[in-house]
Amino acid sequence: MNRRLLKERLSMFALYGLTAGGGLILAVILITVFTKGAPALSVSFLFEASRNFGLEGGIFYQTLGTLILMAGAALVCLPVALGSVLFQTEFLHSPQLKKIFRLLIYSLNAVPTIIFGLIGYLFFGVFLEAGVSWVTGVLILAVMILPTLHVSIHEAVETIPKHYREAGLALGLSPGQQMRAVILPQSLHGIVTGTLLGLARAAGETAAIMFTATAFSGVDLPQSWTDPVTTLQTHILVLAQEAANPEALTNAWGAGLVLLAIVFILITATLWIRSGLEMEAER
């Protein structure tokens, strides 16, 4: 019996130890980004253009570039994601077709992002003749975040209580009216959280845009459809490769902190909305 209790103690010890180890590593990463990034931050860093290949100056246009790409991607993606969800829930009736549709969307979610970059460039850059440009980047990211939005919206639409739908049908609403009056309002939280998560994913993505949408220096705001942009992600990438240069590294950490802040704000907002809904559901 004592051996059993000893074993119990030891395994609990191991459990706590390993968890603490994992937690510690993740904490160290966050702390590193904050401590290394904070010294670089200043008003001028945030609002000045970068100079001398990013070694001097700020990250104003990089931040704008990231925001343009992620906002553009969400704007392009939202009508498609919403439409595809409604197609799946309102117009597809055969369970087999629904299953296949779901499988295709889930597969899309698993595709490595670099492949979106490769094929996206081929379609948007070459066939649509957008070249290496912000439009190509927006379209690639829109495709990339499609499953994120789709899954989130789909979940919200699927969990609309049946009596709401039936109430709408009983009033004789047409499909379009039914969507406006019942389905969209009732699934708004899914649309919002899905979009926020999609924005976060787009903001954090580097591989898919680094050779399709961005230029590394001498770029501020795009003046035409086919101009490249500069982004925080690719800015960090370039500076990181000059890791031997302390100035480059400081600015890279500063840009990293700003990028992380953008992503964390978006995810926290998602979690906040979701927990608010759960509380409401408990009442």
Q: Which stretch binds other proteins (CB under 8 A): 12-20, 44-52, 133-141, 221-229?
A: 12-20
In whole angstroms, the minimum distance from the beta carbon of 124 to other proteins comes to 12
In whole angstroms, the minimum distance from the beta carbon of 223 to other proteins comes to 22
CA distances from residue 240 to 22, 248, 268 in whole angstroms, order as listed: 25, 7, 27
| CA nearest to 134, candidates 59, 25, 243, 220 | 220
Is 225 or 264 the residue whose CB approaches other proteins more closely? 264
| 82 lines the binding site for other proteins (CB under 8 A) | yes
User: Tokens at residue 188, please?
Assistant: 């708004």
With CB under 8 A as the contact rule, the residue among 35, 42, 44, 107 that binds other proteins is 107
- Residue type, position 223, single letter: Q
User: Tokens at residue 118, please?
Assistant: 């490769």
Q: Identify residues 17-76 at the interface with other proteins (CB under 8 A).
A: 17-19, 21-23, 25-26, 29-30, 32-33
Left (φ > 0), alpha (ψ -120 to 50) or beta: where does 51 sit? beta
In whole angstroms, the minimum distance from the beta carbon of 162 to other proteins comes to 13
Strands 56-57 and 50-51, how do they pair? Answer: antiparallel
| CA nearest to 118, candidates 205, 209, 235 | 209
Phi/psi at 144 (5° precision)? -65, -40
Is 8 or 56 the residue whose CB approaches other proteins more closely? 8
Cα 37 from Cα 171, distance rounded (Å): 58
Is 1 or 43 the residue whose CB approaches other proteins more closely? 1
Is 1 or 281 the residue whose CB approaches other proteins more closely? 1
- Inter-residue contact 137 to 227 (CB < 8 Å): no
In whole angstroms, the minimum distance from the beta carbon of 278 to other proteins comes to 9
Q: Count Cα atoms within 13 angstroms, Cβ side, for 179.
A: 10
Fill in the per-residue mask, 108 to 147: x = in contact with other proteins (CB under 8 A), - = not in contact: x-xxxxxxxxxx-xxx-x------x----------x--x-
Q: Identify residues 217-246 at the interface with other proteins (CB under 8 A).
A: 233, 236-237, 240-241, 243
Q: Which stretch binds other proteins (CB under 8 A): 4-12, 39-47, 48-56, 221-229?
A: 4-12
With CB under 8 A as the contact rule, the residue among 59, 69, 74, 86 that binds other proteins is 86
Q: For residue 158, what are the contacts with CB-CB under 8 A and spacing of at least 6? A: 89
Fill in the per-residue mask, 148 to 187: x = in contact with other proteins (CB under 8 A), - = not in contact: --x------------------x----xxx--x--------
User: Tokens at residue 215, please?
Assistant: 């230029």
